[in-house]
Amino acid sequence: MLNRLSKKPRLLALLVAVPAALLALVLLLLSLSPRPELYSGYRQSGAYFAAGGELLSLRLAQDQRYRLKVTLDDIAPTLQQATLLYEDRRFYQHVGVDLTAVGRAFWQSIVKSGRRQGASTITMQLARLRYGLNTSTFAGKLQQLVLALYLEWHLSKADILQGYFNYAPYGGNIESAAAASLIYFGKEVSRLSLPEALALSVIPQNPNQRSPLSTTGREQLERARQRLAALWLAQYGQAVEDARLSLPLHYYQRSDLTNQAPHFVTQLQQGGELLTADAGTEGRFYTSLQLPLQQVLAQQVNRYLRRQQQAGFTNASALLIKRSSMQVLAWLGSADFNNAAILGQVDGVSALRSPGSALKPFVYALALQQGLIHPQSLLSDIPRRYGSFNPENFDGKFAGPLPATEALINSRNVPAVQLQAQLTAPDFYHWLKLAGVHLPKGPGHYGLALVLGGMEISMAQLVQLYATLGNGGSWQALQWQAMPVASKSQALLSPEAAFLTLDMLRQHPRPQAGLVHKLVEQLPVAWKTGTSYAFRDAWAIGLTGDYVLAVWLGNFDGSSNPNLVGLTAAGPLLFELLALLPADNDANKALFTPSGKLNIQQVALCSRSGQLPNKYCPHTTPGWFIPGVSPIKVSDVHRAVPVYTDSGLRACRHQPPKTELKVYEFWPSDIARAYQQAGLMLQTAPEYQQPCTLQQLAGQPPQIRTPQPDLIYQLGNTPQQRQIALKASFDGGVSRAHWFIDQRYIGAVSPGETLLWPAESGQFQLRVVDDLGGVATQRLQVQ
């Protein structure tokens, strides 16, 4: 008897010591265990949102499930409260295992043989979901308990609750509250109403039987939701009672998921090179795309195609960006993504196509930058041969001499090829390579056909190039983020060349009058078209305000259509779409007004020759040039010659009243021949009545009086002391003269006037040219 009594304290001590030792061991193991990687291997769907927050598309994760991670702060508080009320009311009191709930479940299910009750806490459910446990076995259940303690040891309650919402099943292949909210209710999980939050709260407990994806599932879900609604009202009182809690909810299906701008979303999902930053394939992406603009442009494109059915137009693409930030605002890869007959799933924005003449503006920009032309330079549109290459114009005709601006906006091929042939450092091929254009073969393969579209480029790349003209010659990649990120820019053109090219394109007349013309006639548009070989592609690209818009019409199978002409097919569509954009007069004014930082000047130019006018030029027009770069000189085309009044023949000198002065045009031989080849007749001066001496044929050249040739000029400290006076004497027939320092144009004077030059240190070639063609030069040294 004494032995039995003496053994009881030892047995009691043992019963206390063993659990204590086990608890100590568990605590030791937990303290030594690493922090759990809660989201290791977590595969997310891709959720893409427009700039206004609208869902564009929800794409499956790599394991073919809809799953999205979200922070606890972005989950509706009502969903958190309802879930805790339904699943784990003592969540913030227990340590991962709720012993009270375990005891209650044991008593109800085992002792009383009643309805089976669950005792799994949210932490235990997270452990099962995160580690893929089979908790129907004793070993699996034990493992779940240990892992729940493990999670509680290392993670905060907020981390655990957040993890539950990111792993919980909501029927079918839908996991996570964020994905379920988007699919079933078409909204972010932060915006759920109370009835919707109650519905989502009851699904994870039995996702197969309560799934809204089936009729029976919706019925069972509604009954469970009503039971939870009663609990909610009992818990939170009449202050939160809502009569709508008893109304049935409408659930969307997976087939109802929106698929807006599918080509744009696919480009992001694939991490396309056309957009800055690799978007990857998982998670949330808040894009710059403006869904209302996307939809209205798509509708207008389809209306246009329906109107043009007789012309055989069945497909079109369009890309709209915000020029200042390079953000994509609308991306229409095809007229109908789901139309297999037009290969609608092909993305016309990223596809490589021949641009036709759409690249010509950049040859002109480089020619302006390299000092080959200014906007009013006279170019020759006459037959030319470059080895075996004989460029022809679209209309099969030749226009003869014409100003550079007119040659560009009328898309004359021969002048463009001639300019490309003259480009150096860089030539056009290497400039395109600098701009990131994919040219897989060497320059010899493309030759001078590059400017005519003898290569392939995507619409996205074309838009980037045109944006460069409006961004001061600076190239940047397209951006897709709602908040633009800083990206590297590359100076492809000088600001002066970019602006002058833009100004040239602004003078391109619109393709048609009528309503569309009236809608946008107050807003200048710089635009260009392109037509590819064999009429396979029709392009139009325009800049206005802070927008760059490109449109394309054609067939993805490469078939041709004689109606696919850029000017008549794509041009009208371009202006119809431009008419839909919000007008911004301030942005448009800024786009087409040169800033004071640009090194450009506007002067009166002779309308016929495109050079500085002499005294006999009958008409002038204002024109831009780049001082020190543009090839500008005084025109000597118009000359007054003495003609005998009786015979009409030319005299050697003017002898009034026997002779009278008549003005004729004296063109260089190549220009005169170009006029002749173009079928344009010039009125030439009559023959001399008698032979003349050389002295009779020319006036006296000017003589530079100051600065003097043998002096070294010292610059002072004040602006006045840094000026050097330029003065010359001229022939009596001179009325205007122009001064140049090296190749830089300084200014014009009348005879007897002095021009003050703000000098700089160095050695210079000083030159003065009068309007009779007389020239005087002098070396000048300034210190």
| Segment 611-626, tens digit of pLDDT | 999 989 999 999 999 9
The mean pLDDT value for 163-181 works out to 97
Q: Mean pLDDT of all residues in the chain? A: 88
Where helices occur in 435-494 by DSSP H, the ranges are 443-446, 459-470
pLDDT at 399: 82
Q: Which CATH number fits domain 358-455: 3.90.79.10, 3.40.190.80, 1.10.10.10, 3.40.710.10?
A: 3.40.710.10
Residue-by-residue DSSP string for 161-187: HHHHHHH-B-STTBBSHHHHHHHHHSS
| Region of 766 on the Ramachandran plot (φ > 0 left; ψ -120 to 50 alpha; else beta) | beta
pLDDT single digits (tens) 688-729: 888 876 455 556 688 898 888 877 888 888 888 888 989 888
- Band of the pLDDT at 546, cuts 50, 70, 90? very high
3 has a pLDDT exceeding 60: no
467 has a pLDDT exceeding 80: yes
Handedness of CA 42, 43, 49, 55 (dihedral sign): negative
Please give the backbone phi and psi of residue 106, each rounded to the nearest 5 degrees, phi first: -65, -45
The mean pLDDT value for 569-578 works out to 96
- Band of the pLDDT at 278, cuts 50, 70, 90? low
Which of 44-48, 69-73, 143-147 is least confident? 143-147
Strand partners, 729: 703
CA pair distance 380, 210, nearest whole angstrom: 78
pLDDT at 12: 59
**What kind and span of H or E run contains 421?**
helix 413-422
Q: What Cα–Cα distance (Å) separates residue 551 from each residue in 267, 284, 330, 375, 436?
A: 18, 29, 12, 27, 21
Instruction: Work out the angle at residue 468's Cα, subtended by the Cα atoms of residues 462 and 469, and round it to the nearest 5 degrees.
Output: 105
280 has a pLDDT exceeding 70: no
111 has a pLDDT exceeding 50: no
Sequence-ordered strand ranges (E) for 503-590:
526-531, 537-544, 547-554
Q: What is the largest CA-CA distance in the chain?
A: 164
pLDDT at 2: 47
Q: What Cα–Cα distance (Å) separates residue 543 from each residue in 323, 349, 564?
A: 8, 17, 22
Residue of 75, 153, 89, 150 whose CA lies nearest to 122: 89
The mean pLDDT value for 515-529 works out to 71
First to last CA, the chain: 125
Q: Which residue has the higher pLDDT, 100 or 296?
A: 296
pLDDT single digits (tens) 643-663: 999 998 989 888 899 999 999
Handedness of CA 403, 408, 412, 417 (dihedral sign): positive
> 781 is written with which tokens?
């040294």
CA pair distance 566, 356, nearest whole angstrom: 9
Instruction: Work out the angle at residue 154's Cα, subtended by the Cα atoms of residues 148 and 155, and round it to the nearest 5 degrees.
Output: 80
The mean pLDDT value for 443-459 works out to 94
Residue of 374, 466, 387 whose CA lies nearest to 421: 387
pLDDT at 508: 93
Handedness of CA 26, 29, 34, 39 (dihedral sign): negative
Residue of 34, 28, 25, 29 whose CA lies nearest to 154: 34
pLDDT at 7: 59
The mean pLDDT value for 230-245 works out to 72
The mean pLDDT value for 741-762 works out to 88
pLDDT at 639: 86
Say if residue 26 is exposed, middle or buried (CB neighbours under 10 Å; 0-12, 13-18, 19+): middle
The mean pLDDT value for 660-670 works out to 83
pLDDT at 87: 92
> 422 is written with which tokens?
């003259």
Q: In sequence order, which residues have a C-beta less than 8 Å from that of residue 403 and are 6 or more positions away?
A: 375, 376, 377, 378, 379, 610
pLDDT single digits (tens) 64-81: 999 999 999 999 999 999
pLDDT at 576: 95
CA pair distance 491, 470, nearest whole angstrom: 12
Q: Model pTM?
A: 0.84
Asked if residue 658 lies in contact with residue 643, where contact means CB atoms within 8 angstroms, the answer is no
- Identify residue 161 by its one-letter amino acid code: L
450 has a pLDDT exceeding 80: yes
Residue of 296, 311, 235, 202 whose CA lies nearest to 582: 296
261 has a pLDDT exceeding 90: yes
Strand partners, 762: 782
Q: Which residue has the higher pLDDT, 240 or 298?
A: 298
**What kind and span of H or E run contains 81?**
helix 77-87
The mean pLDDT value for 487-498 works out to 94
The mean pLDDT value for 517-536 works out to 82
Instruction: Write down the residue that tokens 């069972």 correspond to.
Output: 220
Strand partners, 228: none
CA pair distance 200, 175, nearest whole angstrom: 11
Ranked by mean pLDDT, which of 135-149, 342-356, 731-745, 746-760 comes out on top? 342-356
pLDDT at 733: 58
Instruction: Work out the angle at residue 707's Cα, subtended by the Cα atoms of residues 704 and 712, and round it to the nearest 5 degrees.
Output: 140
Q: Which CATH number fits domain 65-252: 1.10.3810.10, 3.40.50.2000, 1.10.730.10, 1.10.540.10?
A: 1.10.3810.10
317 has a pLDDT exceeding 90: yes
Q: Which residue has the higher pLDDT, 113 or 253?
A: 253
What is the length of the chain? Answer: 783
pLDDT at 544: 97
The mean pLDDT value for 524-538 works out to 96
Asked if residue 339 lies in contact with residue 345, where contact means CB atoms within 8 angstroms, the answer is no
227 alpha-carbon distance from chain centroid = 53
pLDDT at 715: 86
Please give the backbone phi and psi of residue 11, each rounded to the nearest 5 degrees, phi first: -65, -40
> 626 is written with which tokens?
């780049």
Q: 2: how many CB neighbours lie within 10 A of its CB?
A: 6
274 has a pLDDT exceeding 90: no
- Band of the pLDDT at 20, cuts 50, 70, 90? low
CA pair distance 574, 568, nearest whole angstrom: 10
Q: Which residue has the higher pLDDT, 240 or 234?
A: 234
pLDDT at 693: 62
The mean pLDDT value for 196-208 works out to 95
- Band of the pLDDT at 515, cuts 50, 70, 90? very low
1 has a pLDDT exceeding 80: no
Which of 23-37, 447-461, 531-545, 634-648 is least confident? 23-37
Strands 703-706 and 737-741, by their bridges, are unpaired
Asked if residue 582 lies in contact with residue 313, where contact means CB atoms within 8 angstroms, the answer is no
386 has a pLDDT exceeding 80: no
For the chain, what percent of residues have pLDDT higher than 90? 64
Which of 113-127, 298-312, 735-749 is least confident? 113-127
Instruction: Write down the residue that tokens 């759920």 correspond to.
Output: 192
- How many Cα atoms occupy the beta-carbon half-sphere of 295 within 13 Å? 9
Helix, strand or coil, per DSSP, at residue 650 = strand
CA pair distance 292, 50, nearest whole angstrom: 9
Q: What Cα–Cα distance (Å) separates residue 599 from each residue in 28, 303, 378, 493, 502?
A: 76, 45, 22, 14, 15
Residue of 386, 376, 411 whose CA lies nearest to 397: 411
**CATH code of the region 703-782:** 2.60.40.10
- Band of the pLDDT at 398, cuts 50, 70, 90? confident
> 182 is written with which tokens?
């988007």
pLDDT at 692: 74
